[in-house]
Every structure is written in structure tokens, then in C-alpha cells.
Amino acid sequence: MAKMTAVDWRKVKHFTPGEFNHPEMMETSIIFLLDTIRELYHHPIVVMSDYRPPPDPDVDEYPSLHNYGRAVDFYVVGIDYLDAVDLMEGFLNGLGVSNGVGLGIYPGWNHDGFHLDTRGRRSRWGWTGLHYKNGKKKYVDYDVAYRAIR
């Protein structure tokens, strides 16, 4: 997969490299997907997390797609979160990418938000802010997190 270049960034309509912590480490596929989703929402998107350095194997349980520049965590401004979640599923289906992305819904964040990645297969999960195991976030089934929003 290709990393974003200056030429690629000029093709992005709704984001600038300055909105990412490590824009040079981001894969084109996730940036262009996020840009398309922003267009469909008609609302601003704030990126909270993008590329992260690889984890310390002595501390972290497993690497993340963030470590490869293939994932972003974000929230949508100016729209009810339940509506944003419902629209997201519709957007992913309509774009024909639903079966190739990972989607996490996080109604437990300071700003209820999403994780989106380009893993190449479908995966869905959530975190409500209520679930922990040994002091660490415990992710739950997508449906459990979705019910927490309702």
C-alpha cells in the first residue's frame, strides 16, 4: 500500500496534512476513504488519532492498524451520534467497502466517535466506556455498543 505524498494531499478535498499527527505515514486508501465519508456527511470530521509508532511488545498485547497508517479514530461534528453511526454503515455499504474495513463505534469517548481502518476484511466492535478488564479498555460486540447509544 502507498503512503500519502504531497501530490496525493493536493487531491484531498476536506483534510489537510496538518490535521494528522503523522500525515507522511498515512496510507492513501484510508485518507481517500475518510475524505469521501466527510463529503457524504456534510459535517466536519475531527481526527483524534492516526498513525502511531509500533507498540512495545513488552507492554502492548498486539499491534494496531494505526501502526501501519491504515487506521484513524475520529468524530463527526454537528450531528447526533446515533444518526452518525447509522449513516456510517450506509456510507460503507454504498461505497462498496463494507466488507473490507474495520469499524469501531465508541460512545464512551469524550466525543462519541469511530475507529475506521482498511484491513481488507469486515470487522465490527465497540467500546462504551463501561467495559474494562484488568484496568484496560475491553472492546465489546458492535451490537452491545450500539444498544448503549439508543
pLDDT digits (tens, 9 = 90+) for 34-44: 999 999 999 99
Quick one: pLDDT at residue 57?
A: 67
The domain of 113 spans: 6-54+64-149
Quick one: pLDDT at residue 58?
A: 63
- Domain membership of residue 36 (yes or no) is yes
DSSP letter at 81 equals H
Task: Please give the Cα distance from 140 to 143 (Å, whole number).
Answer: 8
Q: Which residues, given as ranges, of the chain have pLDDT below 70?
A: 56-62, 131-132
Cell representation of residue 13: 478535498
- Domain membership of residue 59 (yes or no) is no
- Domain membership of residue 139 (yes or no) is yes
Cell representation of residue 109: 469517548
- Domain membership of residue 90 (yes or no) is yes
Q: Provide the number of structural domains found in the chain.
A: 1
- Domain membership of residue 82 (yes or no) is yes
Question: Do 124 and 117 meet the contact criterion of CB atoms below 8 Å apart?
Answer: no
- Domain membership of residue 1 (yes or no) is no
Quick one: pLDDT at residue 61?
A: 63
